[in-house]
A and B are shown apart, each in its own frame.
Chain A
Amino acid sequence: SQQGEEDPQALSIQEGENATMNCSYKTSINNLQWYRQNSGRGLVHLILIRSNEREKHSGRLRVTLDTSKKSSSLLITASRAADTASYFCAPRTGGFKTIFGAGTRLFVKA
């Protein structure tokens, strides 16, 4: 298991703008997962990208993975106030133990 580190720690944007957050990790991975956490709730899995994939889309979400740089980015297009949440990445190296980072807090202003 290894921990991903999200960057920036916090991000504040206007509704309609795009939001980009990044995740870096240290060793080779099997896949990388992104999660969202709304205030007072548990984490919700958003998207999984495998190590042999470079880009993946889901609705307004776009995830990229650069295994040579050991980094991933999550792009939320045309953000909405409802996207206000904390976002976490989880690099998975095999097995079950999962170490989450501190996350990126996104605030979308209406």
Chain B
Amino acid sequence: GAGVSQSPSNKVTEKGKDVELRCDPISGHTALYWYRQSLGQGLEFLIYFQGNSAPDKSGLPSDRFSAERTGGSVSTLTIQRTQQEDSAVYLCASSGTEGNQPQHFGDGTRLSIL
């Protein structure tokens, strides 16, 4: 079946603009995760959803970052008033109904802020 799909794969935008990143999880996966990965670094946890709710938003770097998930499926990560330090790869993953299950990742959105 289809894996996790992220769009766009690349996004270049000017500082100060808003951007929306989209994630389509594997069908039936109730958990969805967002991570940020700077060049050559590990993954930084941003947020996870269980269904449509986000019990833990502690990883969001600032109030310019927000995420939502509708219908228990597609999720959107929005970054308002982008800054150059927001440049990174944003990875999405999904997993099944129980915690501790392996995560399935998309190939990410590479975001570049000019």
Shortest Cβ gap from A49 to chain B (Å)? 11
Instruction: Provide a sorted-by-A list of 29 A–B residue pairs whose CB atoms are within 8 angstroms.
Output: A1-B45, A30-B100, A41-B108, A42-B91, A42-B93, A43-B93, A43-B105, A45-B102, A45-B103, A45-B104, A48-B102, A88-B42, A88-B43, A92-B99, A92-B100, A94-B100, A95-B99, A95-B100, A96-B33, A96-B56, A97-B48, A97-B56, A98-B103, A100-B35, A100-B42, A100-B45, A101-B42, A102-B41, A103-B42
Q: Which of B42, B48, B106 contacts A42 (CB 8 A)?
A: B106
State the CA gap A98–B35 with chains docked (Å).
10
Please determine whether B45 and A96 come into contact, CB atoms closer than 8 angstroms.
no
Shortest Cβ gap from B52 to chain A (Å)? 14
Shortest Cβ gap from A97 to chain B (Å)? 6
Q: Which of B93, B95, B107 contacts A41 (CB 8 A)?
A: B107
Which residues of chain B come closer than 8 Å to A40, judged between CB atoms? Answer: 107
Interface of A is mostly: loop
Which residues of chain A come closer than 8 Å to B48, judged between CB atoms? Answer: 96-97
Shortest Cβ gap from B16 to chain A (Å)? 27
User: Which residues of A are in contact with B by a Cβ distance under 8 Å?
Assistant: 1, 30-31, 33, 40-45, 48, 88, 92, 94-103
User: Closest 4 interchain pairs by CB?
Assistant: A42-B105, A102-B42, A45-B102, A100-B43
Shortest Cβ gap from B1 to chain A (Å)? 16
Taking A42-B91, A44-B105, A92-B100 as contacts, is the C-beta distance between A98 and B45 under 8 angstroms? yes
Please determine whether B100 and A31 come into contact, CB atoms closer than 8 angstroms.
yes
Starting from the known contacts A1-B45, A42-B108, 4 additional A-B residue pairs (CB-CB under 8 Å) come to: A42-B107, A95-B99, A96-B95, A102-B41
Residue-wise, chain B 24-52 has the 8 Å CB interface mask toward A (1 for contact) of 00000001010100000111010010100
Which residues of chain B come closer than 8 Å to A44, judged between CB atoms? Answer: 105
Cβ of B77 < 8 Å from any Cβ of A?
Answer: no
Among B68-112, those with CB < 8 Å from A are 91, 93, 95, 99-100, 102-108
State the CA gap A95–B4 with chains docked (Å).
21
State the CA gap A29–B104 with chains docked (Å).
20
